[in-house]
Amino acid sequence: MLRNYLMIACRNLLRHKTHTILNVLGLALGVTCSLLIFLLVKFHLTADAHHSNASQIYRVVTEMHMPEGTTYSPGSPVPLGEALKNDFPQIKKVSMLVANYGFLLEINNPGKNSPDRFLQNNGIALVEPAFFDMFDYRWIAGNPVTALTEPNSVVLTRRSAEKFFGDQNPIGKVMKADNRINLKVTGLLEDSPANTDLKYDMFVSYSTHKDINPQYYKGNWGWINSATTCYVLLSEGFDAAQLTKALPDLHKKYYSAEDAKVFKHVLQPLSDIHFNQQYYGEVQKQSLYVMALIGLFIIVIACINFINLSTAQAIRRAKEVGVRKVLGSTRLQLFWQFINETAILTLLAILLSIVLSSVALPYQNALMDTQLQVDFFQDGYLLTFLVALTALVILFSGLYPSLILSGFKPVTALKGRISAAQVGGLSLRRGLVIVQFTLSQALIIGMLVIAYQMHYFRNADLGFQKEAILNITLFDRDKTTLQTFRNKLLQLPEVAKVSFSLTAPVSNGNNNYDFIRFDSRTEKEGFQVNVKAADHHFLDLYGLQLVAGRNYLPSDSMREVVINETLMHRLGITDPETIIGKPLHIWEKSFPIVGVVKDFHLHSLHNEIDPMILAPVNRDYLLASVQLHTQNLQKAIGNIESAWTQVFANQVFEYAFLDETIARYYQAEEVMATLTNVFAGIAVFISCLGLYGLVSFMAIQKTKEIGIRKVLGASVSQIILLFTKEFARLLLIAFLIAAPLAGYFMHQWLEDYPYGIKLSADIFLWAILITCVIAGITVCYQSVKAAIANPVKSLRNE
């Protein structure tokens, strides 16, 4: 019986090729989008879930309770790890982790006269030996217990080992870091999964910290840096609730009475690190839920499209049903025959979607820096999802058309008198089209809002000059060497200005300090201040505007400071002229305020402008900013590199253009914009396939009416207008539903940004215009076919 059902189903599908192709294509695109979104959501939701102790690992983070609000940092003071070990022996394991900002590595190569040099700017962590007891890594070589017990030891991943040593065995090899520390390779690891927040390729022994950063090694309890974190592994005998209850006693013991009111350490589960935006989480769970909702929208649109096309086809198959019933087929047999057709179409769509997903995944991986793959043998979740999705699509898409088709009365079917009411009527299909275009227009509105916000990000006035500025990473901060480099750069015709600083005006990092005092006030201010180290050329090069006072004088160290307007307002001063000459007390020293600079953005537009101090601190300069005035950028970069090589012969030349660096701050929004564009486009395309089905259905229903109108003199344009009026009304209804819903949710999304666009009428006008144009093309194509048909054929039996 099943074999007979399959043969009949295949024969019918081949007989109606256009109908089959449209159904398979619509379902395949819907399933492809759902599959890609499922892989993406699963990738993020399972971040760091591969560690066997994941449920018992916590990061100890810091809350700073200031009078103006609470500040959150993933960092911990350096002494915290030792204090936790001493005061809470019940804790299973404790490890501090310091993310180092970079090394200039030299590796001797016997076959070369000079060592190989590598600039490793990220992926370096200083960790204690207990780190590898807490987190699961696959060891290729080395002993996880002893690999990092000695100072100047380093464990590499396979990826970094191949980068530094090629196909050589790295164990026992020595790497010189920053021309002063010899690191010995004591272990080799397999690369970590891509969905981890511990993105490190070099693990250096924590005891090396005192040599790398001697001024910060033991630190103090009031110094919090987001790069210095603390992880604990708890046990069932001493869980998170018990440690949380005991932490206030630790605060009282190690902090002064004043500081204990400000600093509070709390436990953050490992599973929360990837998502918690307060502590610099990588992804918002809300964004993942939105992506999952988009996937649901698209598969619903695809299923509605299938129902519309199948029921539109029902009238053409009425006589077939009538014949089969006369020959003895029961309604149940016909029902299963049509369900089999749906199953075959769905399986064809699933197979096509797997192919499409495999083609699309490399592009998605490149866009989102992921390592997703379609592997049903290794990924049980993916297989379960696809089986469940297949079953739901067959049930949702096939149930209604199968019930309709199998329910035709044989006499009525054979006489060709099946009406719209007998196949569910136009009202149901109109409702389904409204649902499709409501979802599609909601996606289009979201797409336009994101595009407008991205345009704002790209073109917003940041308060400083960002074009034609080259940022070069510095390693040598010697005053004489830097001056020599400056002189050589200024001799180049392509170079206009040069400045040395800790960072550019805008950066991802924070150099914040607490507890400044102003003038004669005895109480410390209740907010943090961002201290930017920069020479006296900084203001001129970046075009920063002074609203009062002057620039600070050339100096190697901090003697006088310039502040921004935000700091001035936080101090309660409204007239910038009145603050000039007043002292600012920080680090137990006093510095006169000599200037007030107009506010500029210190971070991306995701953040509000912080209170800021600008001052010269030569030892902190990590960046050379070079302003160019040439169109030949490649020639300029080549000349600058030559000047660099003359001064820093043994150092790697690394540079970036500031405007490109700033653009990378909005990579998450760029990715979201790209995905929304693609998925909105696919949703509209699938909706148009459903619209095509409804127009086809109407054309069949109105065949005789169109014939009579043509005999009575109706033109092709009048026939087309007959169809377009109907669908214009449906699109308008869909828009009236989609606009307020999408507007509300996109307004909520925009609320997350302190700077950005406001929802405007043109966004909604563009949405309805785009939909009308695309849908209009679909309607016109099918209605023209109906309008130019020969009326004699439609009226032959009348």
**What is the rounded distance in angstroms from the CA atom of residue 446 to the CA atom of residue 378?**
35
Q: What is the mean pLDDT of residues 397-413?
A: 61
In three-state secondary structure terms, 518 is strand
With residues binned 3-state (H G I as helix, E B as strand, rest as coil), the percentages for the chain, rounded to 5, are 50, 15, 30
Lowest mean pLDDT among 33-42, 379-388, 428-437, 461-470: 428-437
Residue scoring higher pLDDT (243 or 793): 243
Tally Cβ neighbours within 10 Å of residue 438.
23
Q: How far is CA 168 from CA 31, 200, 242, 463, 615, in A?
A: 46, 21, 49, 50, 47
Tell me the HSE value of 455 on the side-chain side, using a 13 A CA sphere.
8
Q: What is the mean pLDDT of residues 694-706?
A: 69
**pLDDT beyond 70 at 5:** no
Question: Of 175-184, 265-274, 686-695, which has the strongest mean pLDDT?
Answer: 265-274
- In this prediction, residue 196 carries a pLDDT of 93
In three-state secondary structure terms, 781 is helix
Residue scoring higher pLDDT (8 or 626): 626
The per-residue pLDDT for range 71-110, each reduced to its tens digit, is 888 999 989 999 999 999 999 999 999 997 678 888 887 7
Beta carbons of 306 and 26 less than 8 angstroms apart: yes
Beta carbons of 151 and 208 less than 8 angstroms apart: yes
Residue with tokens 């029921």: 311
**pLDDT beyond 70 at 405:** no
Residue scoring higher pLDDT (69 or 15): 69
Band (324; pLDDT cuts 50, 70, 90): low
For 64-75, the three-class secondary structure string (H helix, E strand, C coil) is EEECCEEEEECC
In three-state secondary structure terms, 454 is helix
Closest CA to 490 of 383, 647, 620: 647
The per-residue pLDDT for range 548-563, each reduced to its tens digit, is 999 999 887 788 999 9
Q: What is the mean pLDDT of residues 688-699?
A: 73
Band (217; pLDDT cuts 50, 70, 90): low
- In this prediction, residue 647 carries a pLDDT of 92
- In this prediction, residue 52 carries a pLDDT of 94
pTM here is 0.81
> What's the N-to-C CA distance of the chain in angstroms?
41
**pLDDT beyond 80 at 437:** yes
Whole-number mean pLDDT of the chain? 84
**pLDDT beyond 80 at 773:** yes
Lowest mean pLDDT among 630-634, 636-640, 760-764, 768-772: 630-634
- In this prediction, residue 424 carries a pLDDT of 52
Beta carbons of 129 and 149 less than 8 angstroms apart: yes
In three-state secondary structure terms, 596 is strand
In three-state secondary structure terms, 353 is helix
Tally Cβ neighbours within 10 Å of residue 62.
22
Lowest mean pLDDT among 43-57, 251-265, 301-315, 406-420: 406-420
- In this prediction, residue 71 carries a pLDDT of 82
Residue scoring higher pLDDT (483 or 180): 483
**What is the rounded distance in angstroms from the CA atom of residue 47 to the CA atom of residue 53?**
13
- In this prediction, residue 637 carries a pLDDT of 93
Q: What is the mean pLDDT of residues 582-608?
A: 90
- In this prediction, residue 237 carries a pLDDT of 80
**pLDDT beyond 70 at 34:** yes
Beta strands at 124-127 and 202-205: parallel, antiparallel or unpaired: parallel
Band (328; pLDDT cuts 50, 70, 90): low
- In this prediction, residue 490 carries a pLDDT of 95
Question: Of 253-257, 315-319, 360-364, 638-642, which has the strongest mean pLDDT?
Answer: 638-642
The per-residue pLDDT for range 723-734, each reduced to its tens digit, is 788 788 888 999
The per-residue pLDDT for range 143-156, each reduced to its tens digit, is 999 999 999 999 99
Band (717; pLDDT cuts 50, 70, 90): confident
**pLDDT beyond 90 at 211:** no
Beta carbons of 771 and 731 less than 8 angstroms apart: yes
- In this prediction, residue 730 carries a pLDDT of 86
- In this prediction, residue 402 carries a pLDDT of 64
- In this prediction, residue 16 carries a pLDDT of 63
- In this prediction, residue 718 carries a pLDDT of 77
Residue scoring higher pLDDT (119 or 410): 119
Largest CA distance in the chain: 104
- In this prediction, residue 776 carries a pLDDT of 82
**pLDDT beyond 70 at 425:** no
Residues 6+ apart with CB under 8 A from 552: 536, 559, 560, 561, 562, 594, 595, 614, 615, 616
**pLDDT beyond 60 at 795:** no
- In this prediction, residue 759 carries a pLDDT of 92
H runs (alpha helix) in 196-284: 209-212, 240-254, 257-262, 270-273
- In this prediction, residue 396 carries a pLDDT of 74
